[in-house]
Chains A and B, each alone.
Chain A
Amino acid sequence: MKVRLKMKTLYQSHLALKNKEVSSLELTRECLKNAKSSDHNTYISLLEDTALKEAANVDINISQNGIQSYVEGIPYSLKDLFITEGVRTTAGSKMLYNYIPPYDGFISKAFKNAGSVLIGKTNLDEFGMGSTNEHSVFGSVKNPLNVKKISGGSSGGSAASIAENSSYFSVGSDTGGSARLPANFCGLVALKPSYGRVSRYGQIAYASSLDQASPMAQSVLDLACVMENITVKDDLDETNLNLGAMKIVNELLALDESYLKGKKIGLSENLVESCDDDVKRELIKALAHLKKMGSELVTISLPHLKESIATYYLIATSEASSNLARYSGIHFGFKSHSNSESHQSSSQDSRSFGFGEEVKKRLLFGTFALSSGFHEAYYKKASQVRRIIAEDFLLAFLKCDFIFSPVSSSVASDIGAIDSDPMKLYMNDLYTVPASLTGLPALSIPFGKGQHDLPTGFQLIGKPYQDSELLKIGHSFELSTGRNVL
């Protein structure tokens, strides 16, 4: 039996903590109870002892100094791709099965400083490579809404932790849809921030020009609470931009549903039509609702959208082949005890036994795309098409305020169903990779139910660096539907 959390959302819990109706220790105990009774394979490391200690300490701090931020005292989970000092960080890989980082990354430090309580490190597709969470050396994550279904990936454990009520929010990462897809399959919200908005320091790299830490939660307002804490400029990531910390929660609280009035929603032809019937039906309903709230539908043209998948897989695998070159079984991580005579052969053995099949496939392809004689035709070509796709979006934004798109063409599939067809796995990312390639902020919002009573939803893509505007639109949409508000 799952214990029902007293408060459903992060923001509700914050208010309850502030009003001394509940303690962080009580919230933490409930989350831990739910985590321990879960059979969704959500966590790689559950941190019961330290979580209870942290919660007790934060309760003392709150009683002495009052509550300092929205996330103080709130139990949360972290994708096991973010390094945590003294706490094993695996990236879902045998390669890092015993790796204990000697320092904190930007994300874990930000929440440690804020007094959030880390419940555990969540399961993921190995190194973030996958969209179903079936490619973790620790096994697949089950969807808490229907255990026969995938949770989505690669931040599947993060989504499951919120859906099973063992955390109030999670920080996942999104390289080509890895936070938006699992949020969509588990009935949650996720924001992939603009590239450069959140520091990547201490985030184990998959594809450096695409990776972004991405909050996942029950409501858009909750996402805003999390974003306030992770948008401080960090000099330790050279691609982190000086955009100023987002102070957005009060703005959201002052909004009502009339904020949607007069907003222009860009809709690319054939995008909604390409989805399964149940998803299509709900997307059309969502559009009708936005129209009813006074938004205006505008047809836009994104002529190279279908090339996004090819562009994405060339760029992501190329960058991965470079990023993952550091795993050699010498400085840290898995070392094969084969009888190889040479240094090179020993490293090759460590990598061949340490990486899973999906990772090795991507490393081989990325190596090919970067190799002498093929670099121009593949990696450089993809980077040029990436520019063309980005320019298409900028042109489209001359006509609209934000772009409406599916997150996935279908609801969560059966565990094992997609895995048998690798091309289907890659096509899963069709609607999510464009925002990654162009660095645009994108918000995944649940709306309606499809087959097997599983959640459906849609995605809003914002103008460059307009993450705050996107959250405002998302929040007023939730206000207008009465879902998960306050």
Chain B
Amino acid sequence: MTLKMNQEFLLQLADLAMLKIAPEELDHYQKCMEQFLELVQSLEKIQTENVVPLYNLSREMIEQDSSSRHYRQDAIKNSISLIDVLKNAPEVKMNQFKVKALMEIGQENLHEGTT
């Protein structure tokens, strides 16, 4: 059975995943998604009613064994310096990460923002 994923939905997914798919790539990614859907189809027939999902084995172990549980002290400690943090940033302005404007505030000279 071939499973279908329409291109409009695929574009919505891409938007959620913060990706852009060029028009010439659409058919290719659509085919890939349909192949993935086919690959995972086999799970449908497995009876899973009342089965507790297994998300992370360690978390389950830690819940059972308090010696593995560790909470960091709520204390101030040295961290990486601002200079080191900004070293890898693609664009920096006034010791801050530079990004495009996040909202329009009606002033022509405010097209850039920082976080």
Residues B46 and A307 in contact, CB atoms below 8 Å apart = yes
Residues of B within 8 A of A330 (CB): 89-90, 97, 99, 115
What bracket does the count of chain B residues touching chain A fall in?
Answer: 35 or more
List chain B residues, Cβ under 8 A from A388.
Answer: 46, 48, 51
Stretch at the interface among A175-183, A270-278, A374-382: A374-382
B18 touches which one: A238, A242, A351, A423 (CB < 8 A)? Answer: A351
Would you call B19 an interface residue if the criterion is a C-beta within 8 Å of the partner chain's C-beta atoms? yes
Which residues of A are found within 8 Å of B42, using beta-carbon distances? 306-307, 310
Inter-chain contact B48/A381, CB cutoff 8 Å: yes
| Cross-chain contact B13 with A367 (CB below 8 angstroms) | yes
Contact indicator B43/A307 (Cβ below 8 Å): yes
Cα–Cα distance between A226 and B46 once the two chains are bound (Å): 40
| Shortest CB distance A345–B (Å) | 8
> What is the bound-complex CA distance between A348 and B100, given in angstroms?
12
B72 closest partner in A (C-beta): A235
Contact A365 B33 (CB under 8 A): yes
Q: Across the two chains, which residue of chain A brings its CB closest to B41? A: A310
Within A294-324, the residues touching B (CB, 8 Å) are 304, 306-307, 309-311, 313-314, 317, 321
Which residues does chain A contribute within 8 Å of B43, judged by CB atoms? 307, 310-311, 314, 381-382, 385
- Among B15, B80, B91, the residue within 8 A (CB) of A335 is B91
Q: Is the interface of A mostly helix, strand, loop or mixed?
A: helix
Q: Are B61 and A102 in contact (CB under 8 A)?
A: no
Which of B19, B55, B65 is within 8 Å of A352, CB to CB? Answer: B19
Q: Please, which residues of chain B bring their CB within 8 A of the CB of A100?
A: 87-88
Q: Are A340 and B46 within 8 A (Cβ)? A: no
Asked if A102 contacts B87 (CB within 8 A), the reply is: yes
Q: Kindly list chain A residues whose C-beta atoms are within 8 Å of the C-beta of B36.
A: 313, 317, 361, 365
Interface centre among A238, A363, A380 (most CB of B within 10 A): A238
Task: Enumerate 25 A-B pairs (CB-CB under 8 Å) in ascending A order.
Answer: A99-B88, A100-B87, A100-B88, A102-B80, A209-B56, A235-B70, A238-B70, A239-B56, A242-B65, A242-B67, A242-B68, A311-B43, A313-B40, A314-B40, A330-B89, A346-B99, A349-B20, A352-B20, A355-B19, A364-B10, A366-B17, A368-B13, A368-B33, A383-B53, A438-B57
A343-B101, A363-B17, A423-B35 known; 14 other A-B pairs, CB under 8 Å? A102-B80, A102-B88, A238-B62, A311-B43, A340-B100, A378-B40, A384-B52, A384-B53, A385-B46, A385-B48, A386-B53, A386-B54, A387-B51, A387-B54
Q: Which residues does A use to contact B, with CB under 8 Å?
A: 98-100, 102-103, 195-196, 208-209, 235, 238-242, 304, 306-307, 309-311, 313-314, 317, 321, 325, 328-335, 340-344, 346-349, 351-352, 355, 360-361, 363-368, 371, 378, 380-388, 390, 422-423, 426, 438-439
